[in-house]
Amino acid sequence: MKISIIPYSAFVIPFLIGVVIMAVTCIIKYIRWIRMFDAAQRDVIRHNWFSWKTIPALWEMFREGLLHFRIIRKNAVLGIMHQAFALGWALLIVVGAIQSKNAIACMNQEQSITQLNTLIEQNGWYSFDKDKNIILNKRITYDEAGNKVHLHYYRPFYAAIFYNYFIHKEPASFRKAQAYADLMDGLLLYVFLGLTLALAKRLWSKSVGVRRKASHNLVDRVTKLSLWMIFPLRLISESITSSLYGNGGFLTKYLGSFLSPDIFQYFELVSWLSYSVVLAIFFISMPFTRYMHIFTELLLIWFRKIGMKESTRPTGYTRFELNACSRCGVCIEGCPIDKELDNHRIQAVYLIRGLRAHRREAKMKIIADNCLMCDRCVNDCPVGIDISSIRRMTRSKGSLDTIGNYSYIGTPRPFNAIGRIAYFGGCMSHLTPGITQAMQKIFEAADQKYWYMDRDRSICCGRPLRQQGFLNQADDLMCKNTEMIERSGAMMLVTSCPICYRSFKEEYNLKIPVMHHTEYIDLLLRQGKLNLKRDKRTVSYHDPCELGRGCGIYEQPRNVLNSVTTVRKIKEQKEESICCGFNLGNAVISIEEQTKIRDAAVRSLTAKPVDAIVTACPMCKKSFQHATDRYPVQDIAEVVAANLIKQDE
């Protein structure tokens, strides 16, 4: 005869309910979002869902979902906090599962009736015969026919979670039992490290290097509390059980030794029940709070890795992005609107929270509008959420965004520029003629044939409109410029404005290479087409946001500058450069506010003694010029043009 034995006690019920509700809610949500994917995103799934990209995707899921490398790189303490929670908890589950699997396998092997009887006596296990009758007579060894009874222990998945309660005497043949128990205690300690850091962040955020932490709503806070209570309750329960039976690892045994079994036997079940209830609270609220990010982040990494992108309007992918935000608050750290303007409501974390909760559209537009689109938060976000795309679609102007408004531009005059370089100054460069003149000088000095396509008047590239949510209008302008460039037959496009540059590169679908003038000058220098003399000044270089964070052009401008002058490293450079404040991405802040942000950028650029500020954007140049008379403000092109050695001299 076979007797089946299963660990069970009523306190597991809340836990089970919690898990089921969480699983069902998550699955329903995910299916709904996947059905909201647009055609392009569906295509990506269809073609790429399993390909060579799978391996890097899995690695990244592990690295970012559990190890949290990106947060660690931003802020080591904060990263370790996240890692301790994620990795520690995941390992507790995985190691717990292996531990319980081994223990129960040994019990199945041993077939010890004595063990069975102790287990059942101490109330953690039920045994059934083949008709599923609960066996009350515990001392059966042989059935009526005189055959030896075969014991079969089941291992429900919760055995790993409540291991210490159900297996308080490990079978003798499970030799590594103590090692596993110690390892589990070690992992619990690791989670406690995270908990301590979280507490420190809560009480005094500066202690973990966070200038301003995200403010959370009530539901989030309750759920956080339940998360924080899970681990202490687990420790208490395990210690009590250990005081009664002497099981557990170094930590629980030690703590258990302080507890008197006579008193604490009454608290054992209560304590395990509270542990189970707290787990249930956390699981049930998880899909409705920021902790939804735990699984969503993994899926998002997968989708992104196989090539999915945000579209111009909200899709299922947007839902995944919104829900993958852990509200860690990293995006607040560098935001100039937060730092300089003391506005703590518009940062990515709040935009995302509002959108996730389907807050009123008008309200969301106000939040979405007040942002420089400087991409600092996009660069910093450890989850890699495409915040600027989400912001743009929130800014969408609906009925205001009409097409056909630009018929007055007419059909651009055809120009034959075959074999030439098309030079697009951009609207802003018209306000800084120094830059366009310098570029013309450089083209001539390097003996390059060029066509200054917007010498007299310029059609805007469309990006400022796009950033404000006028997508159709932006497309209109894009068509005009594309037509003009393609009909001319130019072989390359060089532009002086990083905003246009990013637009040409990302939004236009041009068939010719596009270069910003810093890249282009760098190329000319490497080809030896320019001869420069040294400029004795020491300068600081400002990374324009659209050029640096936007397009990743950091080295070329530095190469160019290093061949003419000495560049002084500043604290906030490259990815951390501060926006000049006059970014066209923000149409709502006043000039006074822009000025405050600009001053912060200038302060950073002139923190160490320099002779001049150099940048690579007409807009930044204009902005800084208004700020200071002490330092000359120049564009890279101007610095180069001023130090050209004429070939014939």
Partner 1 sequence: MPDFGFSIKKTRSESIDNGSKQKYEELVRRVPSFKRCFQCGCCTATCSARQFSDFNIRRMHTLFRRGDADGLSEQLKKCMLCGKCTLVCPRGVNIRQLVISMRTILDNGEKK
Residue ranges binding ligand SF4 (CB under 6 A)? 214, 325-331, 334-337, 347-349, 352, 371-377, 381, 383, 385, 498-499, 544-546, 579-580, 582-583, 617, 619-620
- DSSP per residue, 184-230: HHHHHHHHHHHHHHHHHHHH-GGGGT-SSPPP--HHHHHHHHHHHHH
The window from 179-187, 291-299, 425-433, 530-538 that contacts partner 1 (CB under 8 A) reads 425-433
Per rule CB under 8 A, is residue 430 in the interface with partner 1? yes
Contact yes or no for 169/247 (Cβ under 8 A): yes
Helix (H) or strand (E) holding 240: helix 218-245
**Could you tell which of ligand SF4, partner 1, none binds residue 477, using a CB distance below 5 to 8 A set by kind?**
partner 1
Helix (H) or strand (E) holding 563: none
What is the closest distance, in whole angstroms, from the C-beta atom of residue 113 to ligand SF4 in the complex? 55
Q: Are strands 492-495 and 538-541 parallel, antiparallel or unpaired?
A: unpaired
**Could you tell which of ligand SF4, partner 1, none binds residue 546, using a CB distance below 5 to 8 A set by kind?**
ligand SF4
Q: Which of 106, 177, 184, 428 binds partner 1 (CB under 8 A)?
A: 428
Three-state secondary structure call for residue 457: coil
Q: Which of 33, 158, 291, 470 binds partner 1 (CB under 8 A)?
A: 470
User: Please, which of residues 153-212 interact with partner 1 by CB under 8 A?
Assistant: none
The window from 135-143, 450-458, 561-569, 600-608 that contacts partner 1 (CB under 8 A) reads 450-458
Rounded to whole angstroms, how far apart are CA atoms 398 and 473? 11
* Spatial CB neighbours of 270, under 8 Å, sequence gap ≥ 6: none
Nearer to ligand SF4, 188 or 381 (CB): 381
Rounded to whole angstroms, how far apart are CA atoms 312 and 100? 49
Q: Are strands 514-516 and 538-541 parallel, antiparallel or unpaired?
A: unpaired
Contact yes or no for 463/502 (Cβ under 8 A): yes
Helix (H) or strand (E) holding 464: helix 463-467
Q: What is the 3-state secondary structure (H, E, C) of 44-109?
A: HHHHHCCCCCHHHHHHHHHHHHHHCHHHHHHCHHHHHHHHHHHHHHHHHHHHHHHHHHHHHHHHHH
Sign of CA dihedral 499, 502, 505, 507: negative
Q: One-letter amino acid identity for 318?
A: T
| Per-position x/- string for 400-419, each x denoting binding to partner 1 as judged by CB under 8 A, each - no binding | x-x--xx-xxx---------
Rounded to whole angstroms, how far apart are CA atoms 319 and 356? 7
Nearer to partner 1, 252 or 467 (CB): 467
Task: Classify residue 550 by burial, with Cβ atoms within 10 Å: 0-12, 13-18, 19+.
Answer: buried
**Could you tell which of ligand SF4, partner 1, none binds residue 337, using a CB distance below 5 to 8 A set by kind?**
ligand SF4
**Could you tell which of partner 1, ligand SF4, none binds residue 326, using a CB distance below 5 to 8 A set by kind?**
ligand SF4
Nearer to partner 1, 152 or 397 (CB): 397
Rounded to whole angstroms, how far apart are CA atoms 403 and 472? 6
Nearest to 169 by CA among 119, 94, 234: 119
At residue 421, what are phi and psi to the nearest 5 degrees? -95, 130
**Could you tell which of partner 1, ligand SF4, none binds residue 473, using a CB distance below 5 to 8 A set by kind?**
partner 1
Write down the residue that tokens 């310029």 correspond to. 458
What is the closest distance, in whole angstroms, from the C-beta atom of residue 462 to ligand SF4 in the complex? 12
Nearer to partner 1, 76 or 587 (CB): 587
Name the β-bridge partners of 644.
Answer: 532
User: Please, which of residues 243-262 interact with partner 1 by CB under 8 A?
Assistant: none
Residue nearest to ligand SF4 (CB): 583
Q: Which of 424, 582, 624, 631 binds partner 1 (CB under 8 A)?
A: 582
Rounded to whole angstroms, how far apart are CA atoms 321 and 303? 10
What is the closest distance, in whole angstroms, from the C-beta atom of residue 506 to partner 1 in the complex? 18
User: Please, which of residues 597-626 interact with partner 1 by CB under 8 A?
Assistant: 619, 622
**Could you tell which of ligand SF4, partner 1, none binds residue 376, using a CB distance below 5 to 8 A set by kind?**
ligand SF4
Q: Are strands 2-7 and 612-615 parallel, antiparallel or unpaired?
A: unpaired
Tokens of 22: 């969480």
**Could you tell which of partner 1, ligand SF4, none binds residue 410, using a CB distance below 5 to 8 A set by kind?**
partner 1
Per rule CB under 8 A, is residue 592 in the interface with partner 1? yes
**Could you tell which of ligand SF4, partner 1, none binds residue 457, using a CB distance below 5 to 8 A set by kind?**
partner 1
The window from 77-85, 427-435, 571-579, 628-636 that contacts partner 1 (CB under 8 A) reads 427-435
**Could you tell which of ligand SF4, partner 1, none binds residue 405, using a CB distance below 5 to 8 A set by kind?**
partner 1
Per rule CB under 8 A, is residue 473 in the interface with partner 1? yes
Nearer to partner 1, 7 or 469 (CB): 469
What is the closest distance, in whole angstroms, from the C-beta atom of residue 69 to ligand SF4 in the complex? 14
**Could you tell which of partner 1, ligand SF4, none binds residue 103, using a CB distance below 5 to 8 A set by kind?**
none
**Could you tell which of partner 1, ligand SF4, none binds residue 372, using a CB distance below 5 to 8 A set by kind?**
ligand SF4
Read off the DSSP letter of residue 504: I
Footprint on this chain of partner 1 (rule: CB under 8 A) = 397, 399-400, 402, 405-406, 408-410, 427-428, 430-431, 456-460, 462, 464-465, 468, 470, 473, 477, 582, 584, 587-592, 619, 622
